[in-house]
Structure formats: C-alpha cells, structure tokens
Amino acid sequence: MNKEILQLEPVSVWNNFSKLNAVPRPSKKEERVIAFAMDFGMALGLETFTDEVGNVIIRKPATKGMEHKKMVTLQSHLDMVHQKNADTTFDFDTEGIRMRIDGDWVKAEGTTLGADNGMGVAAIMALLESAAIEHPALEALFTIDEETGMTGAFGLKGGILKGELLLNLDTEEDDEIDIGCAGGIDVTAKRSYNEKSSVHGDIGYRIVVNGLKGGHSGMDIIKGLGNANKIMNRVLFAGMAFHMRIGNLEGGSLRNAIPRESTCLINIDKKQEIAFVEAVTKVADAIKKELTFIEPNLEINISPVKASKKVMGLGAQGKFIKGMYAALNGVYAMSATIPDLVETSNNIARVQVKEGAITIGCLTRSSVETSKMDLANSLKSVFELAGFEVDFSGSYPGWNPNPNSKILAVTKGIYKDLFKEEARVVACHAGLECGILGQNYPDMDMISFGPTILGAHSPDERVSISSVQKFWKFLLEVLKHTP
C-alpha cells in the first residue's frame, strides 16, 4: 500500500479506508469484514450488534447540545465488487487491495478499488471514532451483500433501526443529491446440449475479446461501452458460415459489471481455415472501428490452438448464437420524466458454454416496475424460442423520488452555501438500498450522496482525492444542521 494515502486529507477517512481495504470482503463472503466492523464499534465502547442476516448496527449518542435533534442513520454497504485484469495476479479471498495515488486519484493495482462503497463506510467510521465532530445521535448501518442481491437490505426487519433520517453514502458524483434509483431483476437462461466428438481433421482456434473498459452495469450503461459477450457473439455469428463448432466459452463474470473479456475455443474444417480467418478478421476489424472512440483498447485476437475433443452440435449452437444476437443489451428506454436518465436497461453479464450446458446471466434494471418486467419478459421470450429455460430471481424495487423531502431541502441549502452553486437533484440508474429499506421503514426520510468515483465495478475504478475532501466537508455540515 502507498503510505502517502495515509497522509491524505481527511486523514481519519483515508486511514479507515486503508484499514477496510486490508480486509477481503467479496459479496456473500463477508464474515471477515463483519467481524472487522463489530470489533471497531466495540473497541469504541459503542452499542454494536448484528441482525439475523449479518448487517452491523453501531449507535453513538449525540454530542452536547445536539441531543434534541432527530437520530440520523448513516448507511453504506460492507461488500465490494471483485474484478481484476486478466494479467493481474491477485487473490481477492486472501489479499488486501493494493492502492496507489495518481494525481488527484486513488486507484488500485489491476483490480477494483472498493471505493464503492468503502469510502462511505470509512466516512462513517471516522464519525463514530471522532471526539471533536458535532453531530446528532448517530446510527451506523453497515449492510452486507449489496452488490449481488441486496440480501442485507432485504433481510433487515422493521423495528430495528431508530433513526428518522437516513443518509445513504453510496452515490458517485459529488455534485449530486440522489432521491431515487432503479430496481432490478436477475434473468438467467439455461439449456443443455449434446456434446459431439470433433471431426477428424478439424483444427482449433481461440478467439479472445479483451481490453474493454467495463464498468457499472447501471451507471455506465448509457455510455454505449462494449460488451464482451455481445462482441464475441458477433464474431461467432460470422463463423457459422464455415461449419464452426464451439468447444467452450467463458465471458464476463458479475451481473452488475459490464463484461470486459470473453474467450471461446472453436473447431473448423481445415479446408475452411483461410476463408474463416479472413471472414472473422473482417468482422473483428469492423467492430473495433465502430467502437474506436469509446473503446480504443479493444482487442479481438484469433489464434490457432489444439482442436477441442468435444464440441456443440450445430442445432443447439445455431439457436444459442441467434438467441444471443436477438437478446437486447444496453438501454431499452429513457425516462420520460427525468432528463437524461435511463429508465430501463439490460446487461448480458455472464455467458458460459461448457460440458453440455449453457448459462446466460443478465441483470435487468428499471425505475418503472412494469417496464422492468416488460424487458425481462422480452428476454425470456427470446431465450425460450432458442430452447432455454428462463428463471427470474433477486427482484428488488426501485426508490421512488420524494421531491418534498425535508432532509433534501436542508442539504440543498447547505450545498449552495458551501459551494456557491446548486446541487443536482437526481435519480440514478443503479440499485441503491434505499428503496428496499423504505419497505420496512416507510416514514424514514432518505437521501443519498457521496464523493466522485469513476469506473466502479472495473479495474479502472478510482476515487477523487479532492472530491473526498468536498464530500467530507458537506457531510459534516449536513450533520450540524439536520432537523
């Protein structure tokens, strides 16, 4: 770890972020970070406990003169997205994040940084341990598994929280105050296929798509970034004319990350080799030209390898490739009420073809429940026509904006006083936990804000140092002036 990070301002926030990033904390494997948060709260002598699903709650009394104010719940999630570059050697289950400073940015060495949502967690920790900061009674809510199902928020029962105001510290533009978000649903398509023995004389090729930016499948979907799974499918579609057979395919990983890489092994008749390579290279060059401005580092490499012993039958292969071609990826609809907001989208996040089984994993998002299900049913129809069985799971609601929120009015005024400009009041095309928490706490007044984080859910993730300073200053003023 770069020791200079420990000297950044605000020192308490960066020190806590460094301590947090030393703890492996993948979604659904949060035992160590839960213990870390529990030890932190108990060492301060504060009321500290977990609920039945593993969320950590820590309470701190108000400072002198602030006892009359409403209790504020400060909320962030403990888990982080684990993504790394293909050439980076790193074990997320055992290693802490390796960080470095690059100008105004803190980045990680070839992996995700964990600023989403580690900066929020670190800020809350700094507040809990401070003896000098003025604040009303505080209730820290550290949720688990936000990134792969929001099971922490779903599992938090009514009656546990005491706060009347909730500050979610999980947004990624420091000039925004968020008052709404999209809901989502996982769409999973599966089918089996009969493996065929390769034909004598066939030769093998490996096709690799990499060099894409990736990113957050909600916040970044509007950018038109390349999706490795869809790019690979275009290449395979071109290869179908040459009696190509797929051996196996691995593309993407997490549903909430735009896939950056895909690898496929295929067999072809040696007599077709020259024509195949020419045709596929032509398509690859066309794709790179289309995306040259948005994805300048995109690579599509085709290289000879040993032929696969087992391949997919032509019937199943044709349905798979055509089904993938027809399935929507990207923006489906823009909001009719909020300018420049994506209403509904889909990310074809994970594709696996292996040992007689195909699995396609999507994350469909929308701020309108009926539109979310409309797109989910469209995907279901496409994949069922291609012979897949389709399952819906992990559905979570959006967060309906409340423009009349009292805490919103307070924070807008504070932002303008501090920074001499109006904050942008927005809704986002990502899944925040506020919508879920609001189901069991319907009277809680909620907003969300945070520092500027770019490239979340990708190894390009970075957080602005000056923005963290701005965020911290804003947060302290908000706590001074809450109702």
Say if residues 181 and 88 touch (Cβ distance below 8 Å): no
Residue 211 token pair: 């060099």
**Residue type at 329?**
N
In the chain, % helix, strand, coil (3-state, to 5) comes to: 30, 30, 40
How close are the terminal C-alpha atoms of the chain, in Å? 40
CA distance 81 to 388: 28
What phi and psi values does residue 182 have, to the nearest 5 degrees?
A: -85, 155
CB 416 within 8 A of CB 168: no
Q: What 3-state class would DSSP assign to 415?
A: helix
* Three-class DSSP category at 357: strand
**Residue 352: closest CA among 446, 224, 265, 471:** 265
The count of other CB atoms within 10 Å of the CB of residue 357 is 12
Tell me the one-letter amino acid at 366. Answer: S
Choose among 348, 345, 343: nearest CA to 323: 348
Quick check: 206 and 303 in contact, CB under 8 A? yes
For β-strands 165-168 and 445-448, DSSP reports them as: parallel
- The packing angle between helices 465-480 and 406-419, to 10°, is 130
- Tell me phi and psi for residue 40, to 5 degrees: -60, -50
Q: How many helices (H) and strands (E) does the chain have?
A: 11, 25
DSSP 3-state of 277: helix
Tokens 């300048």 sit at which residue?
296
Torsion over CA of 360, 365, 368 and 374, rounded to 10 degrees? -20
146 catalytic residue (yes or no): yes
Cβ contacts of 216 within 8 Å, gap of 6 or more: 116, 256, 257, 258, 430, 456, 457, 458
Residue where the block lists tokens 């429940």: 369
- Catalytic hit among 30, 116, 146, 195: 146
Residues in the chain: 483
Catalytic residue among 30, 79, 445, 461: 79
SS3 423: coil
Residue 116 among the catalytic residues: no
Nearest to 394 by CA among 109, 226, 183: 183
Which residues are designated catalytic? 79, 146
